[in-house]
Structure 1
Amino acid sequence: MASVQLVSSGSEGDGQYVMVDERKKRRMLSNRESARRSRMRKQQHLDELLNQVSQLQKENNEIVQHVNATTELYVQAESENNILRAQMMELSDRLQSLNSVLYIVEEVSGYSMDIPEIPDPLLKPWQLPCPSQPIMASANMFQF
C-alpha cells in the first residue's frame, strides 16, 4: 500500500499524520489479533470434529461387534431349532408307528387299548410328549 503524504507547514499537520499512522497501526494489530483468534477457533473446531469422528468410529465398531455377536447367537438358535424340528418329526413318526402297532394289537387281540391321539405340533407345540430317550442330531445335518 502506498502512503500519500501531504506537505503542510507547521507542527499541527505533522500531528494529524502521526494520529492517522497510529490508528492505522492499531487497526492492523487488531486485525492480526482477530485473524489469530479466528485461526485458533477454526483449529479448535477442527480438533473437536476429529474427536467426534474418532468417537463415532469407536461407537460404530462397538455396534458392528454387537450385531455380529447377535447374528452368531441367531444362527446358533436357528440351528438348534432345526435340530429340534427334526427330532420332533422323528418322534411324531415313531408315535404314529407305535399307534399303528397298537391298533393292530387291539384288532387282533380284541382288547380295548387306550391309544393316545397324536398331538398336532403346529397347534399346540408345548403339549408334545417328552421323549424318554434323546434323539441325537447335529447341526452339521443342515446346510444354510
Structure 2
Amino acid sequence: MASPQQSARSGSDGDPRYANLDERKRKRMISNRESARRSRAKKQNRLDELLGQINQLQNDNNTIMRKIDGATHMFVGAASQNNVLRAQLTELTDRLHSLNSVLHIAQEVSGLAMDIPEVPDTLLEPWKLPCPTHPITASFNLNMF
C-alpha cells in the first residue's frame, strides 16, 4: 500500500496520471487566494479613498456654509441699513415739502417774491439720479469668498 505522501504526490486515487492535475489544482487555489487577497486590499484602499473624499467634501461644504452665513448676515445688515436710510429720505423729503409749503404761505402773506426751490425729483426717485462723476468707494472684503 502507498504511503500518504505518495498518494498525495500521485493523485487522490494513487494514479500518477492525476498528480499533475492535483498540482495544478493546488497552484490554482493558491493563485485564487492571492487574487482574492489583492481584491480585498484594493477594495479596502478604495473605501479608504472614498471615506477621505467624504471628509474633504464635508469640510468644504461646512466652509461654504459658513461663507453663505456670513454673506447672508452682511446682506441682512445692508438691507436693514437701506431701510433706515429710505425712512430717513422719506422723512427729510416730507420736511422739505412742509418747509416749502411754509415758504409759499409766507410769500403769499408778505407779498414778497421769494426764490423757493422745488423738491427735486431725484430726492423722490433716487434710482433716477444721474451717474456721479466720481467713483463711489466702498469697503468690502473681497477675500471673504
Q: SS of the counterpart of 2:113?
A: coil
Percent of pairs identical after alignment?
55
- 1:6-62: CA deviation from partner (whole Å, max 9, x where unpaired): 45xxxxx41x22211210111001000110011011101100110110011001101
Matching residue of 1:50? 51
1:98 is the counterpart of 2:99: yes
Please give the alpha-carbon distance, in whole angstroms, between the structure 2 residues aligned to 1:122 and 1:53: 54
Aligned AA for 1:123? E
Matching residue of 1:35? 36
Matching residue of 1:116? 117
Q: Any runs of at least 4 consecutive aligned residues in structure 1 with deviations exceeding 6 A, and if so which? A: none
Normalising by structure 2, we get a TM-score of: 0.74
Structure-2 change in CA distance of 1:81 and 1:64 (3 Å): same
Higher relative contact order (CA 8 A, sep 6+): 1
Normalising by structure 1, we get a TM-score of: 0.75
- 1:98-143: CA deviation from partner (whole Å, max 9, x where unpaired): 101110111112122121111334534575xxxxxxxxxxxxxxxx
Aligned residues, how many?
A: 119
Q: SS of the counterpart of 2:82?
A: helix
Structure 2 stretches lacking a partner, 5+ long: 1-7, 130-145
Structure 1 stretches lacking a partner, 5+ long: 8-12, 128-144
Matching residue of 1:131? none
Q: SS of the counterpart of 1:113?
A: coil
Please give the alpha-carbon distance, in whole angstroms, between the structure 1 residues aligned to 2:44 and 2:75: 46
- Aligned partners of 2:93 and 2:124 also within 8 Å: no
- 1:57-109: CA deviation from partner (whole Å, max 9, x where unpaired): 00110111011001100110011011101111110111011101110111112
- Aligned partners of 2:97 and 2:119 also within 8 Å: yes
Matching residue of 1:60? 61
Q: SS of the counterpart of 2:100?
A: helix
Aligned AA for 2:125? L
